[in-house]
Copies of this chain bind each other. A is one copy, B any other.
Amino acid sequence: MFFHVQRMLNEITPDEPDPAAANALQEVLGGQFGEMRTMFQYLFQSFNFRGPTAKPFRDLLYGVGTEEIGHVELIASTIAQLVDGSPRYQGKKTDPIDQPGAGGATPLDLALDHSNIHHYLVGAQGALPVDAQGDPWTGKYVYDSGNLPLNLLYNLMLESTGRLQKCRLYEMTDNKTARSTLSYLIVRDQAHENAYAKALEALGVKWNKLLPIPKTNAERFPEVAKLVEQGLQSKQYTFSLDQLNEAGKVFQGASPSNDGTTLSTEQAPEGVPFPGIAVERPEEFGPGLDPELLALVQATAEMEIAEAGQPIWGPANGNGSGDGKGVLGKIKDAITP
């Protein structure tokens, strides 16, 4: 069972719209080595896990898999922000954007020559579940052999390849919006490299000088260096609401990256407040509400919610259970000794 909070894992730095950078970042979202893949690979390995005595390894997979859902949210939101408003990309203003088609205006002509036309034609300047070539994500990417050593080897290679691609992407664009998310993910990918490398160390492997892959020098990437100083590459989060996740038994001790740090586990990062909801784009007919429909929507938005459930830390009052404890209160009871 999964929960959500309206907070983003890392701040998305504002900058100009940049459809080319947005398209490149699609690889990180829907590519063969992107976050949709890591997410489902670890979750399927968790669902199908074998070996009751190896629970800490299963929980490690569950924790990283849950973090990856948040990565999908972060990168999709970054792409959406980069494409949003891109008809005004590089100060272009030839057409009256508010009047699509009027008098021969072509506010979306940028779509013909830049990146992925589907960003403007199929979606309305938002993220797509595809890679930087426009190829859709496929379940064929997901690897779960059912053999623990093989899964760990694959996962180590997968995180390293993801990190390699993000380093290359960093060198393709200096858009601040793109780089803020790329830098965060470069560091988190290294944390996940460490996680799987450490799990293989528990099975006897010694990595010596091989890690991290790629061999990067964080000083070359200033935004990355800042996060490395905070030690984000050596922390693992469980993203678990209960006390049952045992990933910390694997993710501990000296870092396999040979950077002198010690691995440690926490529940979750603080994150930052959600960005505001994107504005209407009339040239896209999105969301496509005319004044009459808009009035109906606003009437809904101004309602009071009498029926909504209580938050988990407020006074528990009967949502879903009838005993004044709330759902998660009952979970707590169930698992507390």
Contacts and interface: CB of A to CB of B under 8 A. Distances in A.
A49 B140 contact: no
Interface string A275-311: 0111111011111111011101111110111111111
A57 B21 CA distance: 29
A184 interface: no
Contacts of A244: 5-6, 274
Given A200-B210, A239-B2, A277-B55, A104 B215 contact: no
Given A48-B123, A138-B139, A156-B153, A241 B3 contact: yes
Contacts of A50: 124, 277-281, 286-287
A118 B133 contact: yes
A136 interface: yes
Contacts of A101: 167, 170-171, 220-221
Interface string A198-231: 0010111111111001111000110000000000
A277 B52 contact: yes
Contacts of A276: 52
A123 B139 contact: no
Interface string A35-62: 0100010011001111111111110001
Contacts of A252: 303, 305-307
A169 interface: yes
A117 interface: yes
A279 B49 CA distance: 9
B294 A214 contact: no
B203 A288 contact: no
Contacts of A161: 145, 150
A90 interface: no
A220 B99 contact: yes
Nearest to A120: B168
Given A124-B147, A161-B145, A172-B108, A215 B331 contact: no
A171 B106 contact: yes
Contact of A288 (B69, B76, B148): B148
Given A245-B6, A310-B267, A147 B129 contact: no
A324 B103 CA distance: 38
Contacts of A207: 204-205
Given A205-B207, A267-B326, 18 more contacts: A1-B268, A3-B3, A4-B66, A7-B242, A27-B121, A47-B126, A48-B278, A51-B279, A52-B277, A118-B132, A120-B172, A146-B286, A147-B213, A157-B157, A203-B293, A213-B288, A237-B309, A243-B311
10 contacts: A1-B7, A2-B239, A6-B62, A107-B171, A145-B164, A149-B210, A149-B293, A248-B307, A252-B306, A268-B320
